[in-house]
Structure 1
Amino acid sequence: MDPLSPHAGPDPHDAGPDPHDAGPAPRVTPGPAGAEGGGSARAERGPLLQYATGSLGMGAWVTVPGLLLLYFLTHTLGVSPLVAGPALLIPKIVDAVVHPVVGTLSDRQARRQGNRRGMMRWGLLLGVAMTAMFTVPAGLHGTPAAVWVAAWYVVGNLLFAAFQVPYLTTPSDLRVGSHESTRVFMVRMVLLTVGLLAAGVLAPVLVADEQRGSYTRMACVFAVLMLVTALVAIRGVRRLTATGGFREPAAHSPSALADVRLAWADRGFRLLVLSYLFTGTTTHLVLAAVPFYAEHVLGRSGLTAVLMGAFLGPAMITSPLWFRVSGRIGKQRGLLLAQLLFVLGSLVLVAGDHVPVALTVAVVALLGTSFAGLQLLAFSMVPDVVAAAERRGHSRAGAYTGVWTATEAVGTAAGPYVYSAVLAVGGFAASVDGEGARQTAGAVHAVLIGFTVVPAVLMAVAWLVQRRCRLDGLADAR
């Protein structure tokens, strides 16, 4: 039994059984001895590390576009912020629509084949999209260049969804308890952070001259990483489900839309999704804003890699700490604490260049510590919701995960879009091939406010929504 808070019981408002679930009960692939209780199995270290390795390469896809695409468009391709924002948002809207469909297809494949790995193999082509996205033909500038980038961003997001949805469904598929699923996510989170950190620090260094050829070479480096780690992860998923057991989803519904409605009717899941939407928007806004803040507020573009290291470095160290926190006070209270720390840290940075750089780096490290908790605890609540849905008779882990990753996709796009909108309001001027345009005081002020006040407000909304959740009770029941 997970030692979480005993004060929160199951939510009486959770959705009841779904009328479409009048089929046979889902089959359960036996795990190792002792797994029959539904919560006593433990993920073995080797398969778990192989599984988590997939997050190294996928972390590059999450980080590099979020960190560099807006900057690439406005500083190298001569795209105005008014055009750059939609160029990044539209592919993510497409992505958000696709993820629930992928979740439903993943559930159907799991029932038909007994696993979800076939769909994951499409993710092996993700590096091709990454390379093409950053390899813009020499004759394209401005809006045509933005169209090229957006088109390949759509292709990459489709391939990413095919890998990511079944990949993230794995902890919900395993026949383990709530605390053990948090452990699975913790190991994944540590390696994800390594991938985020490597991409966040290395990518800006590889494109320091802001030339097109440098962006192409950078993309090729990460394309190789994504291919190798995806292959390892697919093997890890196979071994992990073989030793930890595999819960097949219930009989599939008539459509992906029916699955979305089913997931959305689950009050606990709905509140968790809404909170994570604002959380994801906030963190990806910060990632997109780091290069702008370093160059235009702190006056040193070379600090981009330092700030990214400060943001992502602590996450590797503090993920195990947040794991212990969740065991002591519950995932819900731990997540609220992480959100509050992010709000406070963002407000401190409003001082901009009026505080020493060392203090700025320290505050960004605090944000990174918060980021670790935001990711680990929110993601680890999803298997608890899925397990509760299974007890009500409509277990569709892929469908729930599809909605969850669609929300993550929206947040990934909304963050840079919100920041580009703030820049546009401030009158930020775009440039070509790194030839910096002169910025007005209003533009610099927009860079600062977008990196500090706006994230604080968005995360405060996430905190208010999360307060209404009662998910620790589900973990206790599991």
Structure 2
Amino acid sequence: MGGCRVVLAVRTRHRGRHRMASQEVNDPAHSVSTASRVGFGLGDFGFVMLWQGCALFLLYFYTEILGLPPLLAGAIYMAGMIWDAVSDPFVATWTERRARKVGRYGGLIGAAALPLAFAYPLLFSQPFTGLMPAALWALVTHIAFRTAYTFASMPYNTMPARLTREPGIRNSLAALRVMGAALGALTAALATPALIEALQLPLGEGPAYLVAAIVLGGLAGASLWACTGMMSEPRHPPAQGEGADSYRAKLALAFRRALSDPRFARLMIFMALATLSFGFYTQSVLYLVNYHFQRPDLVPLALGLPALVMIPFAPVWAALAHHLSKTTTLIVGLAVAALGYAGLALMPQSAAAPALGFMVLAAIGNACLPVMFWSILPDAIDAHGDRTGSRIEARMFGLATFVQKSSAGLAGLIIGLSLNLAGHQASGSDTASEPVRLTIVLVSTVLPALCLVALIAVVRGYNRVRNEAPGQ
């Protein structure tokens, strides 16, 4: 019994020192300057501009411009995302170690900005003819882009946990992040088709995609450099008890701790289903507009309106969370988005205008999801650190993005497989066979709605486990 009390006392002192260190590093929220907040929002402007550019146009570019079979295109898309997902925890571990040496995460974002700005246009290049050379080039450039994206985004994802431990300010940071992300998504959704439309006659459709990607890549790189320069990050505390553990050992520790924490495990399920839902829609909406509604003239509206409405509604959801619980706010947002997708699924081919309204409704609900998730996740990391006596910020965020990117790749593969089974072939026509048209409606509306309905049950269950201690 006496030995047990000694062990408990040692653990208590250790955890107390950890809490003091955390409070020294993460000062109260008022220390987060306006410049840091704006810089944080600018970061996701650049990241989501490129992420959304891939989500909206890359699979379509593979099938309709490169002429790759849908299943092969979906497999290439998934391979790049799986590579991205698998590398995330390793890059996160390296990022955490590197930040302990240099004292901050922010400089790592700027260092990776230039490779990322160059890698994005390569996705939309076509230097080779023939199926296999084109497919191999698509695979190599996709992996190169995802690698650069991971090295830039991983240190950025740790910033909410680094800048503050105040839940209210984390809500504000998450809202700024979503507003920046929505602006980036809006830029990708509007600028890309506008540039393609202006350039495809003099240059051709393929080169027009490339020029549009060069413009967006440069703009994203500039925003990430601005993000690095504006954020004022607390110095990272000196490493304590680091030793010479291998990356594998550190990652295994992070996995064990995450899986033993019921809150974090449910958040990973949330991330998977939310990404599948959003991926099904964003990667197939071009097909929906072109082949179901047969209104290519509405592409800018269909892509831009949902991104536009997310900008004002992100702070609305954050404000609502101050009056309701975060989980209650999430359930409301999920229900609104599911209703939007359900209404879109019921729209006949002649109802393109009402369909835009349901796209906007889904976007209003979807604006809630990232605001709440990126606010709740740092809270879960704090609670986990308080219970275990150690913080593994980057690795926890690395596991979250591992799930996110694996799910996005799976969505692309499912879309490609579905189109392949339906018999879709690139023909340059705005018409599609009835099986292909129905398949497009299914993957772009019904599957997203089903994922969101399942998410409501997951979020309700989160309330029951949020105060439980993780298993030993």
In structure 2, relative to structure 1, the CA distance for the partners of 1:76 and 1:269 (3 Å cut) is same
State yes or no: 1:412 paired with 2:402: no
The match for 1:300 is 295
1:338, CA displacement in angstroms? 1.3
The match for 1:330 is 325
The match for 1:75 is 64
Q: Which of residues 26, 41, 44 in structure 2 aligns to 1:52? A: 41
- Partner amino acid, structure 2, of 1:224: G
- Partner amino acid, structure 2, of 1:429: Q
State yes or no: 1:86 paired with 2:75: yes
The match for 2:463 is 470
CA contact (8 A) 1:135 1:213 kept: yes
In structure 2, what is the Cα distance between the partners aligned to 1:175 and 1:92?
Answer: 31
Q: Matched residue of 1:352: which SS? A: coil
The match for 1:378 is 373
Unpaired runs of 5+ residues, structure 2, are 1-9, 468-472
Q: Which of residues 390, 395, 402 in structure 1 aligns to 2:398? A: 402
State yes or no: 1:439 paired with 2:432: yes
> 1:89-108 maps to which residues of 2 (within 5 A)?
89-108=78-97
Describe the superposition over 1:321-349 as per-residue Cα deviations: whole angstroms up to 9, x where unpaired: 00011111111111122112222211111
1:247, CA displacement in angstroms? 6.5
1:160, CA displacement in angstroms? 0.8
1:473, CA displacement in angstroms? 5.8
CA contact (8 A) 1:193 1:312 kept: yes
> 1:423-462 maps to which residues of 2 (within 5 A)?
423-431=419-427, 435-436=428-429, 439-462=432-455
The match for 2:177 is 188
In structure 1, what is the Cα distance between the partners aligned to 2:238 and 2:90?
Answer: 18
In structure 2, what is the Cα distance between the partners aligned to 1:442 and 1:147?
Answer: 30
> 1:131-210 maps to which residues of 2 (within 5 A)?
131-137=121-127, 139-208=128-197, 209=200
4+ residue segments displaced more than 4 Å: 24-31, 245-253, 471-474
Describe the superposition over 1:426-445 as per-residue Cα deviations: whole angstroms up to 9, x where unpaired: 211124xxx23863211111
CA contact (8 A) 2:89 2:402 kept: yes
- Partner amino acid, structure 2, of 1:127: A
In structure 2, relative to structure 1, the CA distance for the partners of 1:471 and 1:196 (3 Å cut) is farther
Q: Matched residue of 1:415: which SS? A: helix
CA contact (8 A) 2:49 2:220 kept: yes
The match for 2:470 is none
1:423, CA displacement in angstroms? 1.4
In structure 2, relative to structure 1, the CA distance for the partners of 1:326 and 1:436 (3 Å cut) is same
The match for 1:226 is 220
CA contact (8 A) 1:307 1:364 kept: yes
1:368, CA displacement in angstroms? 0.9
1:451, CA displacement in angstroms? 1.3
CA contact (8 A) 1:310 1:362 kept: no
Structure with more relative contact order (C-alpha pairs < 8 Å, separation 6 or more)? 1
Q: Which of residues 254, 257, 274 in structure 1 aligns to 2:252? A: 257
In structure 2, what is the Cα distance between the partners aligned to 1:219 and 1:112?
Answer: 35
Does 375-384 or 419-428 show the bigger shift? 419-428
Q: Structure 2-normalised TM-score?
A: 0.88
In structure 2, relative to structure 1, the CA distance for the partners of 1:201 and 1:251 (3 Å cut) is farther
Q: Which of residues 350, 355, 359 in structure 2 aligns to 1:360? A: 355
CA contact (8 A) 2:342 2:445 kept: yes
- Partner amino acid, structure 1, of 2:447: V
- Partner amino acid, structure 1, of 2:178: M
User: How large is the RMSD of aligned CA atoms in angstroms?
Assistant: 2.5
The match for 1:421 is 417
CA contact (8 A) 1:429 1:438 kept: no
Structure number with higher helix proportion: 2
CA contact (8 A) 2:330 2:368 kept: yes
- Partner amino acid, structure 2, of 1:316: I
- Partner amino acid, structure 1, of 2:434: A
In structure 2, what is the Cα distance between the partners aligned to 1:275 and 1:72?
Answer: 29
In structure 1, what is the Cα distance between the partners aligned to 2:107 and 2:460?
Answer: 38
CA contact (8 A) 2:126 2:206 kept: yes
In structure 2, what is the Cα distance between the partners aligned to 1:337 and 1:42?
Answer: 32
Q: Which of residues 307, 311, 319 in structure 1 aligns to 2:314? A: 319
In structure 1, what is the Cα distance between the partners aligned to 2:446 and 2:36?
Answer: 42
CA contact (8 A) 1:92 1:413 kept: yes
1:303, CA displacement in angstroms? 1.3
In structure 1, what is the Cα distance between the partners aligned to 2:155 and 2:370?
Answer: 18
Describe the superposition over 1:140-162 as per-residue Cα deviations: whole angstroms up to 9, x where unpaired: 24343122112111111111111
1:248, CA displacement in angstroms? 7.1
Q: Structure 1-normalised TM-score?
A: 0.86
Describe the superposition over 1:239-288 as per-residue Cα deviations: whole angstroms up to 9, x where unpaired: 1x24xx76678755633232222222221011111111110111122111
In structure 2, relative to structure 1, the CA distance for the partners of 1:40 and 1:83 (3 Å cut) is closer
CA contact (8 A) 2:100 2:237 kept: no
Q: How many residues align?
A: 443
State yes or no: 1:115 paired with 2:115: no
- Partner amino acid, structure 2, of 1:265: S
CA contact (8 A) 2:270 2:458 kept: yes
In structure 2, what is the Cα distance between the partners aligned to 1:250 and 1:171?
Answer: 22
Does 346-355 or 192-201 show the bigger shift? 346-355
Equivalent pairs: percent with the same residue? 20
- Partner amino acid, structure 1, of 2:384: A
CA contact (8 A) 2:340 2:360 kept: no
In structure 2, relative to structure 1, the CA distance for the partners of 1:40 and 1:113 (3 Å cut) is same
1:471, CA displacement in angstroms? 8.5
In structure 2, what is the Cα distance between the partners aligned to 1:154 and 1:165?
Answer: 16
In structure 2, what is the Cα distance between the partners aligned to 1:118 and 1:250?
Answer: 22
